[in-house]
Amino acid sequence: MAWRMLRRKDVHAGLMNLAFRGDHGGTKHFSSGNLGKLTKFVHSNRLQGAADCTVFQHYTIRNFHAGVCMLAWSRKKEDVVGLKAPKKEKRVKREPRTQAPVEAPYVAPKPKITIKSSPDKIVEIFDGMTLHDLSKRSGAAIGALQSILVDLGERVESEFDSISIDLAELVAMEIGVNIRRMHTGDGVVEPRPAVVTVMGHVDHGKTSLLDSLRQTSVAAKEAGGITQHIGAFVVEMQSGASITFLDTPGHAAFSAMRARGAAVTDIVVLVVAADDGVMPQTLEAISHAKVANVPIVVAINKCDKSGADPERVRIQLGSEGLLLEDMGGDVQVVEISALSKLGLDKLEEALFLQAEMMDLKARTDGPAQAFVVEARVDRGRGPLATAIVKSGTLVSGQYIVVGAEWGRIRSLRDTAGKVTESAKPAMPIEIEGLRGLPMAGDDVVVVDSEERARMLSQGRKKKQEKDRLRKIDEDMTEETEIADDTPERVEMPIIVKADVQGSVQAVTDALRSLNSPQVFVNIVHVGVGPVSEHDIDLAQACRAYIVGFNVRNPPSAITQGATQANIKILLHKVIYHLLEEMGRLIVEKAPGTAEIQISGEAEILNIFELKGRSKSKGPDIKIAGCRITDGHFIRSGTMRLLRSGDVVFEGPCASLKREKQDADKLDKGDDCGLVIEDCDDFQVGDTIQCLEQVMRKPKFISTQSGAVRIEC
């Protein structure tokens, strides 16, 4: 209260002082009446209200030298919302510099971590490896690996901390190197059945042998009597033990499928027909088994047929470097007959003996390791993959990554089609629940969660795309290096559809083998399943042929749409017929190469001269009276004059007549009058050859072994 009274007293004194001072020429800004009002306002309690400041709106206060309290009241008035004025900054005069600036040390920017991609390098990874191990194997810096882990949402404090095999694969893919998963064998190890692959030449009785072993009739159901895809079956032998058999195709187009069969097998049964002997696919199967380091058991089939010569087969196999037991080697040889079931018990004994010598065991607990041998799309169940478990136990409900696809196992089915909850080692199983169709030969990886499965799938797809683009760049570089005189090739776009993934790959590889210098076979799209409307639209866009292998006939609506769009659909169930028809189409589409060939020969019997011609008809000419002795002559051809075997003149034909009539073509035995442009050096007995330019088409060649090619 005392402070307020003092404040008002000081304010009153300041106002009185202001009222009676002269400002700018002694002008008085306050009258006696107004001063009284102002004094009354100052003594009232309304000094604290912001709105009461409007009392001063009719007065101008200049040179107001009040005390500290009046200045405080002025500041409080400015704090009212909407009345605060911006503060003016004081200008400070800078003094000129008299000293040189201090030189700070240069700090280089933090270098960005760059990783050199090594697409050809293969790094072996395993569960529990450290960043130090991964850095040592891949050649990448530890800092680069840690930055990749941070981007993936993982954090590893030390370079010696262990990481999972899935995380190691993700990091390796970001580096740009190829990886090979190394699975540990720790756990419960138990004996397992042998995985046996039946290989050999086409029509040597591979599938018939399996039919006799499992008492079924699969060969009769195969189109054309040949196997079109890999079949996996568990056969209960007479001794009570079980063996997993894989039946591989024998046609030359299915070489990659035979290689996959040898990669997942323990023993190879090489079937050779006693009446046919060693054939190209037999040698190819031997090479696949040697590369995979798999023991071979030779089964000489069709020993009961007339003309069978098992000894000749033994000699042929020995000459190919296969050390048979009869020749002091370790390769067992069994003579059998698949149709009459002769010698099947001996074959069984040989297989069990070989498996016992190998002491086959596998880990039964922990995550499973499996390989896809076949994949297809079912109309109601979606993508299905047939796999063989190598180790561990595959359980329904697990999250898996198969190649670049992922999913959760919805159900597992054995070879009999029965639903099972788990699959043990050496057991073929059909997996349902994948988001996409994997490739035959992909490995099956069990992961912990859906997030990790999705990350692995995305990483593998990204790497596949990088590899594909890199291959395209390499192919384009090679094409630019081709000489300019290389003839331009015609492109033949093709869409391939098949029943299973393995057949798609086999047909694609076989069609690409038909590439020639004149026709480029461009596989624009591949897929599993019947021909769809999407295939018709794509074929219409790029003018492609549609090849359907072992698929059902498309609906009438799709067939009519293809006919209206002038799209050709080729459906086949036997690969022989498919390759033959495609070979004919390629030959028809090929532009051919221009060649000059001798179309006919003629002998000069007499010479006629036309003299005294007018200037309008031209100078004098010589006409050679000829008789065609071989082939034919054409008016548009080039004539070559020969004398005693030497070329005297060569030039275009100026006139070709028969009995005073112009002729475009004359055959053998015809007499004619011939005029060669700018040539008058004819003699009786000379020979004239007619040179004709023709377009030579390539040839489609199919060998007895099943291999096909285009020869230009």
Amino acid at 151: D
Instruction: Return the DSSP state at 500.
Output: B
pLDDT in tens, 408-451: 999 998 877 888 999 888 888 889 999 988 887 788 888 888 98
Which pair of structure tokens corresponds to residue 450? 């859906």
The whole-number pLDDT of residue 479 equals 56
Tell me the whole-structure pTM to 2 decimals: 0.60
Query: Using the 8-state DSSP alphabet, how is residue 490 labeled?
Result: E
* Among the listed residues 49, 42, 24, 391, the one whose alpha carbon sits nearest the alpha carbon of residue 195: 391
Q: Which residues pair with 657 in a beta bridge?
A: 662, 673
pLDDT digits (tens, 9 = 90+) for 671-683: 999 888 888 888 8
Task: Give the other-Cβ count within 10 Å of 606's Cβ.
Answer: 13
CA distance 303 to 204: 11
Region of poorest pLDDT, from 266-270, 506-510, 531-535: 506-510
Place of tokens 């040390």: 105
Q: Which residue, among 220, 218, 200, has the nearest Cα to 282 in the 3D structure?
A: 200
Q: How many angstroms separate the CA atoms of 198 and 193, rounded?
A: 16
| Residue 569 pLDDT greater than 80, yes or no | yes
Compute the mean pLDDT over every residue in the chain, rounded to the nearest whole number: 75
By C-alpha distance, which of 612, 582, 568 is closest to 710? 582
For residues 206 and 108, what is the distance between their CA atoms, to the nearest angstrom? 71
Supply the DSSP string of 183-227, one letter for each residue. Answer: ----S-EEE---EEEEEESTTSSHHHHHHHHHT---TTTSGGGS-
Place of tokens 């007619």: 690
Tokens of residue 123, six digits: 């790094």
- Regarding beta strands 638-643 and 621-634, do their DSSP bridges make them parallel or antiparallel, or are they unpaired? unpaired
The position carrying tokens 């624009």 is 524
Hey, which of 9-13, 155-159, 259-263, 280-284 has the most confident mean pLDDT?
Answer: 280-284
Residue bearing tokens 């009719």: 58
What three-state secondary structure class fits 113?
coil
State the pairing for strand pair 569-572/545-549.
Answer: parallel
CA dihedral 464, 469, 471, 473 (to 10 degrees): -170
pLDDT band of residue 627 (cuts 50, 70, 90) is: very high
Q: How far apart are CA 553 and CA 494, in angstroms?
A: 18
Name which of 646, 654, 637, 649 is nearest 599 in CA terms. 637
Write out the two tokens for 696: 């030579």
Report whether 368 contacts 431 (CB < 8 A).
Answer: no
595 to 145, 599, 693: CA distances (angstroms)? 61, 12, 6
Give the count of beta carbons closer than 10 Å to the beta carbon of residue 524: 15
Strands 671-676 and 569-572 turn out to be unpaired
Question: Which two tokens mark 427?
Answer: 């057991």
- Residue 582 one-letter amino acid: M
Does 399 score more than 90 pLDDT? yes
Distance CA 622, CA 221 (A): 76
Contact 648, 609 (CB under 8 A): no
d(CA 174, CA 708): 41
What's the pLDDT tens digit per position in 100-154? 665 666 665 555 555 555 666 787 887 778 888 888 888 888 888 888 888 777 7
Q: What is the pLDDT of residue 400?
A: 92
Q: pLDDT per residue over 342-368, tens digit each? A: 888 888 888 888 888 888 888 888 788
pLDDT of residue 188: 77
pLDDT cut 70: percent of the chain above it: 72
Average pLDDT rounded to a whole number, residues 163-174: 83
> pLDDT for 43-80, tens place per residue?
444 444 444 444 444 444 444 444 545 555 455 444 44
Asked if residue 226 has pLDDT above 50, the reply is no
Query: C-alpha distances in angstroms, 91 versus 259, 460, 464, 593, 651?
Result: 87, 65, 66, 90, 102
- Among the ranges given (66-80, 176-190, 432-446, 698-712), the one the predictor scored with the smallest mean pLDDT: 66-80
The 8-class DSSP code of residue 329 comes to S
d(CA 61, CA 75): 16
| 296-340 pLDDT per residue, tens | 899 998 888 887 888 888 888 888 888 888 777 888 999 888 888
* Segment holding 408, helix H or strand E: strand 405-413
Rounded distance between C-alpha atoms, residue 345 and residue 351, angstroms: 10
What does DSSP say about strands 122-126 and 178-182: parallel, antiparallel, or unpaired? parallel
Least confident of 25-34, 300-309, 560-569: 25-34
Sheet holding 296-301, edge to edge: 231-236, 242-247, 195-200, 267-273, 296-301, 332-335
DSSP for 630-694? Answer: EEEEETTSEEEEEETTEEEEEEEEEEEEETTEE-SEEETT-EEEEEETT-----TT-EEEEEEEE
pLDDT higher than 70, residue 695: yes
Listed residue (170, 161, 183, 162) closest to 138, CA to CA: 170
What is the per-residue pLDDT for 88? Answer: 59
CA separation for the pair 146, 151 (Å, rounded): 9
